Amino acid sequence: MKDILVAFGRASRSLMRRDIFWHLLWPGLLAVVIWAVAAVMLWAPVTEGLYAWVSGWTFISGWLAASETTAAIVLVLIQITTALLIVPLVYLTAAMLVATIALPLMLEKVARTDYADLEQRRGGSNLGSAWNSILAGVLFLIALVVSLPFWLIPGAGLLISVTLTGWLNQRAFGYDALMFHADRSELQRLREDWRPQMLLLGGGAALLAYVPVINLVAPAYAGLAFVHYMLETLRRHRLKYGVTVLDADPGAESRKLP
């Protein structure tokens, strides 16, 4: 837990740099604009379509037909659910922009000043990052659609959203944070061994998506926190297993310290 708080602290320090702050801001702003336009254009057909879908459920259709009050309550719940759904969709869009464009640029700047002692072994690539982000986004959307009936339960939508967003963070940003510095085996091993901690870090960052104003930079801030957390984890991993932190041979994976 301490290491996660340290990562958030270092990310907060990094975002104050002028060469970093713009990359924190633009993905969230662009995602908000995209989904604000979509919400204005699609609000009525989406809410009406969801109401028609719910009305077709056998166990609830009778209640809706028998009581106007019940129908009105269900409509309000659907409208609240639709509004809540916009938040993870905005976050997903911003996270994809961060993972594919902004984070590699921030990673290069942060690593140059804070992790210059770490050898870059290039176990990942920009193409791998793009594929990983697309796959994470598709799985996120599938889980979001499957979970839709549970969003009508008060409070469940927020819990589901935070859980899925936390998973998205660790899946997308865990790869990007390590792709330049870790070799292939380190990239795979660290993401497997530290998945619980990554999920906790991702979930903590996901909560920021529901804080006004801060939510504009939440996806990029999450990516920046993952950069600090995973690079520090990589540094400790190499020291623990007797691997040189900075090696002249980029192909070496297990050079021992004297």
This prediction has a pTM of 0.76
Q: What is the mean pLDDT of the chain?
A: 82
Residue with the bigger pLDDT between 168 and 51: it is 168
Residue 33 buriedness (CB in 10 A; 0-12 / 13-18 / 19+): exposed
List, as own/partner pairs, every contact residues 208-216 make where C-beta atoms lie below 8 angstroms and the sequence separation is at least 24, other chains included. 209/87, 209/88, 209/90, 209/91, 209/161, 209/165, 210/87, 210/158, 215/28, 215/87, 215/90, 215/91, 216/25, 216/28, 216/29, 216/32
Side-chain-facing half-sphere of 180: CA atoms under 13 Å: 19
Tell me the per-residue pLDDT of 69-97, one tens digit each, with 9 for 90 and over: 767 777 777 788 788 788 888 888 988 88
Tell me the per-residue pLDDT of 3-31, one tens digit each, with 9 for 90 and over: 899 999 988 888 778 778 788 888 888 99
Phi-psi region of 122 (alpha: psi -120 to 50; beta: other; left: phi over 0): left
Main-chain phi, psi angles of 87, to 5 degrees = -60, -55
pLDDT class for 171, splitting at 50, 70, 90?
Answer: very high
The 3-state DSSP class for residue 243 equals strand
Tell me the per-residue pLDDT of 29-71, one tens digit each, with 9 for 90 and over: 899 899 889 888 888 888 888 777 777 666 666 666 666 776 7
Asked if 174 contacts 226 with a C-beta cutoff of 8 angstroms, the reply is yes
User: 């297990």: which residue's tokens?
Assistant: 254
Name 170's Cβ contacts closer than 8 Å, sequence gap at least 6.
Answer: 195, 198, 199, 201, 202, 226
pLDDT at 177: 92
pLDDT class for 255, splitting at 50, 70, 90?
Answer: very low
With a pLDDT cut of 90, the percent of the chain lying above it is: 27
Q: Which residues pair with 209 in a beta bridge?
A: none
Asked if 242 contacts 256 with a C-beta cutoff of 8 angstroms, the reply is yes
pLDDT at 11: 87
Cβ atoms < 10 Å from Cβ of 51: 17
The 3-state DSSP class for residue 118 equals coil
Residue with the bigger pLDDT between 230 and 113: it is 230
